[in-house]
Structure 1
Amino acid sequence: MQRMLDGLIKFRQEDFEEHKALFSKLKRRQEPHTLFIACSDSRVMPEMITKSLPGELFVVRNIANIVPPYKEVHQDYVATTSAIEYAVKSLKVENIVVCGHSNCGGCASIYLPDEVLNNLPDTKKWLELAQNVKKRVMVHLEDETDEYQREWLTEQINILEQIKHLLTYPYIKEKYLNKELNIYGFYYMIETGEVFIFNYDTGVFELSN
């Protein structure tokens, strides 16, 4: 905790002072250009990865960067869906990024047995949203014993599945088809710092230049 407290002081004395004019401009409003949907993993830092300044990214984070499919009326609490709605409808972002990453514990958890997940009931419920990812992976998997292949295939297919979910939202689909909204899939490699971006034309994730 002391390290965090020291960080607060360092931020105020250094980073804040460096961007003081920007923070003053942001005090009454925000105009982010991108909704960034990322995993809650502590190793994933959207602003650091993209070198974005305060006010540029509207960030939503949850286990395995999941986007619940659209429902006209939700009966449960809707942290992720409300953030998506607010970003697109109120803040009118120009881009949506779904960012997955290597060694994702959330993606790995969809393969855990029930006796393990039963100890994590809320996590188990949340990961029901990724069951189709698991099905898609098993169709493409050449060797079911190759855990490394399963890992990266799951993480990348999961990104594509969440983009598919985004397009079930009528207000997102309309803006996307009218070219008023861009949707990107990022795959971040923690160990190398590389980010691969999904190319809709080639159907593969390609290293960003």
Structure 2
Amino acid sequence: MEKLLQGLIQFKETDFQEHRQLFEELGNSQSPHTLFIGCSDSRLVPNLITGTLPGELFVIRNIANIVPPYRNIEEYLATTSAIEYAVNILGIQHIVVCGHSNCGGCKSLYASEKEMQSIPHTRKWLELAGNVKEKITAMNIPESEMAKREWMTEQINIVEQLKHLLSYPFIKERVLNQTLTIEGWYYIIETGEVFRYNRHNSEFELVN
């Protein structure tokens, strides 16, 4: 905790002063251009990898960067409501779903019931990615190629979440009207590389 408290002081004395005018402008309103949906993993830092300043990204983070399919039900919908707010109120122009290498959430899709026993809410949440597991399982990837299974799961998960986004009527309408773009990114932690999903050839391509 002491490290966090020292960080608060350093922020006020350095970073805040450097961008003081920007923070004053942001004091009463925000107008982000992009909704960034990423994993909660501590190694993924949206503003750091995109080189953006406060006020540019509206960020949603959860286990395995999952987008629940659109539905109208009487329950508390954290991710769904944040997407709705970003699109319908803030008028964002782009949505990025960003997954990453060595994703614990994606890895947990293959965990046993015993391994998931202590995290029942996480297990329930990951049911939303059940279709990803089914697709990977159907590929019959051998035990000797578990690294391949890992990155394929992470990438296919990103593609599935893009499909989920299009189940939101207000997103599909804007995409068709070309007033909103949606993209899938795959971030490699150990190299800093980001791969962008190309819908035309169904491949992730390195951003140069």
TM-score by length of 1: 0.97
The SS at the match of 1:110 is: helix
- Partner of residue 3, structure 1: 3
Amino acid at match of 1:6: Q
- Partner of residue 34, structure 1: 34
Matched, 1:164 2:163: yes
Matched, 1:18 2:13: no
The SS at the match of 1:159 is: helix
- Partner of residue 81, structure 1: 80
User: 1:141 and 1:52 mapped to 2: Cα distance?
Assistant: 41
Amino acid at match of 2:180: L
Amino acid at match of 1:101: H
User: 1:106 and 1:114 mapped to 2: Cα distance?
Assistant: 15
User: 2:177 and 2:192 mapped to 1: Cα distance?
Assistant: 33
**CA RMSD of superposed structures (Å):** 0.9
- Partner of residue 57, structure 2: 57
What does the per-residue CA deviation read over 1:121-165, in whole Å, with 9 as the maximum and x for residues that have no partner?
A: 100110000100001112235424421000000000000000000
Amino acid at match of 2:102: N
Deviation of the 1:63 alpha carbon = 0.1
TM-score by length of 2: 0.98
- Partner of residue 182, structure 2: 183
Gaps of 5+ in 2: none
Deviation of the 1:13 alpha carbon = 0.6
Matched ranges for 1:31-180 at <5 A: 31-71=31-71, 73-180=72-179
How many percent identity over aligned positions? 59
User: 1:140 and 1:69 mapped to 2: Cα distance?
Assistant: 24
Is the contact between residue 187 and residue 205 of structure 1 (CA under 8 Å) also seen in structure 2?
A: yes
The SS at the match of 1:152 is: helix
Gaps of 5+ in 1: none
User: 1:173 and 1:143 mapped to 2: Cα distance?
Assistant: 38
User: 2:170 and 2:95 mapped to 1: Cα distance?
Assistant: 13
Is the contact between residue 102 and residue 152 of structure 1 (CA under 8 Å) also seen in structure 2?
A: yes
Is the contact between residue 141 and residue 149 of structure 2 (CA under 8 Å) also seen in structure 1?
A: no
